[in-house]
């Protein structure tokens, strides 16, 4: 179903894939997020911040085997 506020080339929704659970769902992006961020990097950042499901307690337990400190490269939010 197309809504009148959707922009040419952008459907106003994303495909949410959970590889751990093996599920796929379509999530609608709130219209105000699109207007505030104007798409691109701003929208991507908003989606990452608002929909982040990282278990930070578990992530902080990922210790480097040699240095025995948090391994930044293995952290789930690392772009590496």
Domain residue spans in the chain?
A: 13-74
pLDDT band with cut points at 50, 70 and 90 for residue 12? confident
The token duo for 24 is: 């796929």
Q: Alpha-carbon distance 4 to 28, whole Å?
A: 14
Residue 1 has pLDDT above 60, yes or no: no
Mean pLDDT of 8-22: 82
Euclidean distance between CA atoms 4 and 27, whole angstroms: 17
Distance CA 28, CA 12 (A): 6
Q: Token digits for 62?
A: 């990922």
Residue-wise pLDDT tens digits, 22-56? 999 999 988 888 888 776 788 888 888 888 877 77
């Amino acid at each position: 179903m197309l809504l009148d506020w959707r922009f040419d080339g952008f459907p106003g929704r994303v495909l949410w894939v959970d590889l751990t659970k093996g599920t796929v769902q379509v999530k609608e992006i709130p219209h105000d997020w699109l207007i505030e961020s104007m798409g691109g990097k701003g929208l991507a950042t908003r989606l990452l911040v608002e929909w982040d499901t990282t278990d930070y307690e578990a992530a902080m337990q990922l210790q480097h085997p040699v240095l025995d400190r948090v391994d930044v490269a293995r952290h789930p939010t690392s772009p590496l």
